[in-house]
Amino acid sequence: MNKSSQDKISFGQASETMGSPKLAMGKRKIDIANSKYPYCMVWTPLPLISWILPMIGHTGICGPDGVIHDFAGPYTISIDDMAFGEPTKYIPLELDDTNIDRYEEWIEIADEKFSRMNHNLCCNNCHSHCAYALDLMKYKGKTGWNMIDIWWMFMTKSKYVSFGRFIQCYIGFFIMLLIVLFFMFIARVA
């Protein structure tokens, strides 16, 4: 599969091995069955909200052991129990020697900071938590990461965990769309 078609829709495999000169950690094993995504960010749909706007969802960042850390609500960091269900998409992070050694420490610092903060759906949320962790590590040499950057990464660089979870992302939206179209059709006929 060429790179351009892979970027459009890609599905993960139960044991994905990542190998790249940029990845100082060598190989990482993604274990979908146990929700372990080492050195990744993960995404899952939000009930009701994602049904209307399927590009909106809940994010988390995973440690070297694959355990998911997510800002689940006011003063709450979920660890290894992602709020709103299992991940449906993930992004393997491209780490190098400058940020791999302290990667877990930076996630812990982000967890500590956000565990003392109120959650706001629009301004201070799970995307902000992931952005703060990336900002601490100066991911890809950049500072100033924000929730829009995280959203854009999931829109352009994420992989679907499986075909079933791809369907899970969009089934609510399509059901809502069919209901709206049905009522529009009924109104037009009547």
Residue among 44, 74, 86, 80 at smallest CA distance from 62: 80
Q: Are 41 and 153 in contact (CB under 8 A)?
A: yes
The dihedrals phi and psi of 171, each to the nearest 5 degrees, come to -65, -40
Residue among 22, 33, 145 at smallest CA distance from 92: 22
Max intra-chain CA distance, the chain: 67
Tokens 């369907």 found at: 167
pLDDT digit string (tens) for 28-48? 789 999 999 999 999 999 988
pLDDT digit string (tens) for 177-188? 999 999 999 998
Decide which of 157 and 24 is more confident. Answer: 157
| 65/119 Cα distance (integer angstroms) | 26
Q: How much is the pLDDT for 27?
A: 61
pLDDT digit string (tens) for 61-120? 999 999 999 999 899 999 999 999 999 999 999 988 777 888 999 999 999 999 999 898
